[in-house]
Amino acid sequence: ITSPVAFDILPLKLHSFSKSTPTGLDCVGCKRRISAPVITDGGLDKTALTDDVGSEEDLYEDFRSSTHRYGHPGGGGEQLAINELISDGSVVYAEALWDHVTMDDQELGFKAGDVIEVMDATNKEWWWGRILDSEGWFPASFVRLRVNQDEPMEDYPLKVEGGREEDSRRFGMGQTTKDQMRTNVINEIISTERDYIKHLKDICEGYIKQCRKRADMFTEEQLKTIFGNIEDIYRCQKKFVKALEKKFNKDHPHLSEVGSCFLEYQTEFQIYSEYCNNHPNACLELSRLAKVNKYVYFFEACRLLQKMIDISLDGFLLTPVQKICKYPLQLAELLKYTNPQHRDFKDVEAALNAMKNVARLINERKRRLENIDKIAQWQSSIEDWEGEDVLVRSSELIYSGELAKISHPQAKSQQRMFFLFDHQLVCCKKDLLRRDILYYKSRISMDDMEILDVEDGKDKDFNISVKNAFKLHCRDTEEVHLFCAKKPEQKQRWLKAFENERRQVQLDQETGFSITEVQKKQAMLNASKQHHAGKPKAVTRPYYEFLLRQKHPTLPSTLPQQQVFMLAEPKRKPSNFWQNISRLTPFRK
């Protein structure tokens, strides 16, 4: 266990961050502490003494030489302890937090909730483990160590994650009745909420409050980037935990009716969407500040003043991302041990579905925001673009493909590439020689359009014979656009895509999804910079990659934890699959 005592040996050396979860912190798989190049193993770099660190360095020194002892589990010592246990012949178990799906025969696949025997934890990122007869590598941050390594495998689900030993004895963890198991889950929900509130308070008072005192170091815009709307989350969670405690039956915890609390706050929990979307920006900003001595000292001084455990700020800021995705896990476990006759059964069942939807909505919003950069890059690759940017009205590519467009008055047929976004259909023409280059031709607003299925045969409006055709009819102007697909199945895919476009627009209106002007401008600016950097105008690879990424997997509703954001997961091993595919690109027809 690392503590400020270690400073006596290595002056001003920052501790390395462990992936282990400290007791009382709902934080799993956090990133390692941001490393600062000015800190060396031998001590403080001499150049650091010339920096304008002011009182931060003095404060840091005061804590280094003081008698404060902030003991806590975690730190680099836990990984060492795991390996010592393994080398001594002890069996170490970990529980899977997320599914690990892999095609690599050297990796160990598992589902959330599986118990894994850890056989080697030497590497911080990847551990070696075993499930039944299967062995392989798996990401360390996809699991959490079992609270009590000595308990039998079949009794593990009964363990209260944040419970103390006296709680376990008092509530009789060895019992297997449904009421007892429900008691354990209720106690876990209450205890982790209290710990989470303490965690948010430490961030708001220990970091944000101190940062605002230093206007010479932080602008309000910087603080918004680093901390997002975590203060709003703190206020929301304080009200939520009070509501939970009112419903908590201290004498008979299994009789507690907490489902209604989640239903009451399901809408307010959507504020996590803004926080999760901003979190990658926070990590980038912290990485930048970590290269400057005075910020390294300042953040460490804030942590010590607040008597917070030895985790980096980016690790603390990851917790809300994971917290909102843990609610479906806890509610699923609570529903499992709630009798259908229990007064709380229907509310817990409804709460589980509600929190799954919240997690799904947050995940979808994050995906949509990531897509706007791709859309901006796509637009920058189109030649002769005219009019407003796509992002002014749209944020999602629904479908794309080649169609024959029939125009009045000569009923002339033209082959064009069409891109269906929410609210608009963009028409482009392929270059005659370089088929991977597209030219902008026109666009159609979908908000006033009616889609008409056209039977094969002679069309009365255009007085020509058509096959696999459909029309777009404008209700206001009576304008009609006729399109023909090459195959019947292509026509059906387009008709389905138009339905999906209207459904997406309606869903955005209901959920209040929108993209800020700042986000739109930043996406177009980034795309413009990439274009001017000398990237070719060819759209073949970006276009196909864009379409492939649109086919995001459907997440099983029974495993809400799979909706945890990629930023909360470790980087997987790189695959050479797409590298092999890219070699075939020049031969694409």
Q: Are residues 365 and 437 in the same domain?
A: no
Given a contact cutoff of 8 angstroms between Cβ atoms, the answer to whether 158 and 164 are in contact is no
Q: Are residues 423 and 470 in the same domain?
A: yes
Given a contact cutoff of 8 angstroms between Cβ atoms, the answer to whether 375 and 426 are in contact is no
Distance CA 198, CA 191 (A): 11
pLDDT one-digit tens code per residue, 526-577: 888 776 655 444 444 444 444 444 433 333 333 333 333 433 444 344 444 4
- Give yes or no for a cis peptide into 586 (omega within 30° of 0): no
Q: How far is CA 10 from CA 18, 40, 214, 230, in A?
A: 19, 9, 28, 34
Instruction: Report if residue 574 sits inside a domain.
Output: no
Task: Look at residue 439 in the predicted model and tell me its pLDDT.
Answer: 95
DSSP 569-586: SPPPPP-SHHHHHHHTGG
Q: Are residues 495 and 456 in the same domain?
A: yes
Last residue of a domain, one of 529, 559, 581: 529
Given a contact cutoff of 8 angstroms between Cβ atoms, the answer to whether 417 and 438 are in contact is yes
Q: Are residues 409 and 317 in the same domain?
A: no
Given a contact cutoff of 8 angstroms between Cβ atoms, the answer to whether 248 and 186 are in contact is yes
pLDDT reading at 26 higher than 90: no
Kind and range of the H or E element at 39?
Answer: strand 39-40
What is the number of other CB atoms lying within 10 angstroms of the CB of residue 463? Answer: 8
Residue 478 confidence class, pLDDT cut points 50, 70, 90: confident
| pTM for the whole structure | 0.54
Q: Are residues 292 and 359 in the same domain?
A: yes
Task: Look at residue 532 in the predicted model and tell me its pLDDT.
Answer: 61
> In the structure, how many helices (H) and strands (E) does the chain have?
16, 16
Instruction: Report if residue 158 sits inside a domain.
Output: no
Kind and range of the H or E element at 505?
Answer: helix 488-511
Q: How far is CA 381 from CA 201, 401, 437, 530, 547, in A?
A: 47, 17, 8, 10, 15
- CATH number, domain with residue 501: 2.30.29.30
Instruction: Report if residue 8 sits inside a domain.
Output: no
Q: How many residues does the chain have?
A: 589
Q: Are residues 299 and 437 in the same domain?
A: no
Residue 88 φ/ψ, nearest 5 degrees: -80, 0
End-to-end distance of the chain based on CA atoms, in angstroms?
61
Structurally, the chain folds into a number of domains equal to 3
Instruction: Report if residue 7 sits inside a domain.
Output: no
pLDDT reading at 186 higher than 60: yes
Which positions ≥6 away from 33 have C-beta within 8 Å? 14, 15, 16, 17, 311, 312, 314, 315
DSSP 156: G
pLDDT one-digit tens code per residue, 79-120: 667 777 787 778 888 888 777 777 677 889 888 778 899 998
Q: Are residues 208 and 355 in the same domain?
A: yes
Distance CA 211, CA 220 (A): 9
pLDDT one-digit tens code per residue, 134-179: 899 998 878 877 644 544 444 444 333 344 333 433 333 334 478 8
Of 427, 454, 450, 423, the residue nearest 438 (C-alpha): 427
Last residue of a domain, one of 529, 550, 580: 529
Range of the domain at 461: 384-529
- CATH number, domain with residue 103: 2.30.30.40
Instruction: Report if residue 157 sits inside a domain.
Output: no
Instruction: Report if residue 419 sits inside a domain.
Output: yes
Which residues sit opposite 439 in a β-bridge? 383, 429
The mean of the pLDDT values for the chain is 75
Distance CA 144, CA 287 (A): 26
Distance CA 34, CA 296 (A): 9
Return the ∠ at Cα 371 (arms to 359 and 228), rounded to 5°. 55
> What beta strand segments (E) does 48-204 contain?
92-96, 115-120, 126-131, 134-139, 143-145
Last residue of a domain, one of 309, 335, 370: 370
DSSP 148: -
Instruction: Report if residue 85 sits inside a domain.
Output: yes
Structure tokens at 176: 């297997």
Distance CA 487, CA 150 (A): 63
Which of residues 155 and 368 earns the better pLDDT score? 368
Q: Which amino acid is at 128?
A: W
Q: Are residues 230 and 281 in the same domain?
A: yes
Q: Are residues 401 and 518 in the same domain?
A: yes
Q: Are residues 412 and 467 in the same domain?
A: yes
Instruction: Report if residue 20 sits inside a domain.
Output: no
Collapsed DSSP state (helix, strand, coil) of residue 231: helix
Structure tokens at 204: 């708001």
Q: Are residues 393 and 345 in the same domain?
A: no
Q: Are residues 358 and 390 in the same domain?
A: no
Residue 401 φ/ψ, nearest 5 degrees: 170, 180
Return the ∠ at Cα 454 (arms to 448 and 458), rounded to 5°. 130
- CATH number, domain with residue 210: 1.20.900.10
Distance CA 311, CA 33 (A): 7
